[in-house]
A = this chain, B = another copy of it.
Amino acid sequence: MSKWKEKIMDNKQINELAASLREYSIACRRKIHRFAEIAAHEVKTSAFIQQEIQALGLPYEKVSTTGLMAILDTGRPGPHIALRCDIDALPFPEEPNNLMRPKVCVSDDPNTCHACGHDAHSAILLSTMKALVSQKDQLNGSIYFCFEEGEEFGTGYQGMLDALAKRPVDVCYGMHMLASLETGTVNIEAGPRMASTFEMQMKILGKSGHSSRPDLAHNAVFCAANIVTNLGSVWINAFPSGEALPLGITTIQGGGVYNAFPEHAFINGTVRYYNEELGKKAEETIRKVAVNTADMYDCSVEFTDEFYHMGEGPLVNDLHYSTLAYNRIKQILPEGAMVHCPPWIATESFGFYCKKYPAVFAFIGIKNDELGSGADHHNAFFDVDENALDIGIKSALGFVDAVQKEKQ
């Protein structure tokens, strides 16, 4: 095993590396943007990434269906860092314009599009990989470049975690473009940064009957309505004020004949949470309220399996590594680049990585009023300001550098 390398990247070097990769990163992003392939079907995207890995001479393995992990092993002792991105698109048509003007490129597939920024994530990780391979002789330990397929539908994370489990891993790093943050800014904060979610699906079993005699029926409609309102009442008493725990009851369905009570009614919705314990308590609370309310109406309630799916867990940034990353990236980027932002209440399969490893997830700003980027994620007008690719590369390099320096 070779000796530990003393010389690590300085700010100038990182800025130069990123600048030299500007064209490459934009080309990668546009290529993947045009492919726009959905979960487990990222065939062209995966082939392109594989080709880039091969061009760098890195060993790699295929993960799940279309995921890939490339390994940069310096042969020297040192930290084992996983850098992860997602590569899948969304199953709806893209608007050719963003909020202001025509987009610089649009999906080749009229039914899919990269409306969440995974094209940019992939381009940043490909560029970061290229940069780090070029600096291989200055690095220690190993770096895993994780191209996760199917983030949107959850098809790729387990394979990637299994692939990582075969190797030593000290820390994971991921990133997400964030439409609400200005281009040029980066957010890295310790604590919960993205939510976890579970879906509730319940069926209320009543007894049908004529509307003139509610007493002879067990009215599932009234029961369902009361489950909803009781949830509202219990909710504000069951959980600490100030904890984000949105009760999103999106569907209530029962009946259809004007003068007859139905046999069944249905309630659907989601709960999001940043705190695993509260998420579990929320599920128990829903059960308790539903079962007891149903009993009040001589109804009963069934929960579907979906209810049990507790999601990926909240995405919680590690305090130590977040601080380390924040401090290092702050030195690299212009003053004022590191900003605060509230947690994003969307969910991310990177939450699974956070459950298992110390991890850092960076939000990279892409909002640019002049260019017209800033439409929300999963919106057909969503667009990436490509100037953010440079920031994303510098942030990833800064993170790797910080961890490497710490482990010296």
Contact = CB atoms under 8 A, between A and B. Distances in A.
B345 A248 contact: no
A246 interface: yes
A255 B251 contact: yes
A212 B249 contact: no
Interface in A219-277: 219, 221-222, 224-229, 232, 246-262, 265, 268-270, 272
Contacts of A64: none
A214 B251 contact: no
Interface string A290-333: 00000000000000000000000000000000000000000000
B255 A219 contact: no
Interface in A34-79: none
A112 interface: no
Contacts of A197: 212, 259
A213 interface: yes
B248 A214 contact: yes
Interface residues of A, number: 44
Contacts of A19: none
Interface string A95-108: 00000000000000
A172 to B, nearest CB: 24
A248 B212 contact: yes
A228 B211 CA distance: 14
A341 interface: no
B225 A346 contact: no
A199 interface: yes
Interface string A195-206: 101010100000
Contacts of A211: 246, 248-250, 269-270, 272
B251 A254 contact: yes
Interface in A75-120: none
Given A212-B346, A228-B225, A251 B256 contact: yes
Given A225-B224, A228-B222, A212 B257 contact: no
A214 B222 CA distance: 22
Contacts of A251: 221, 254-258, 262
A248 B253 contact: no
A212 B247 contact: no
A345 B212 CA distance: 6
A229 B260 CA distance: 18
Contacts of A269: 211, 221, 258
Contact of A221 (B228, B246, B345): B228
A153 to B, nearest CB: 14
A278 to B, nearest CB: 15
B229 A226 contact: yes
Given A222-B232, A225-B224, A228-B221, A212 B272 contact: yes
Interface of A: 195, 197, 199, 201, 210-215, 219, 221-222, 224-229, 232, 246-262, 265, 268-270, 272, 345-346
9 contacts: A197-B212, A199-B258, A199-B259, A212-B270, A221-B252, A222-B232, A225-B226, A252-B253, A253-B254
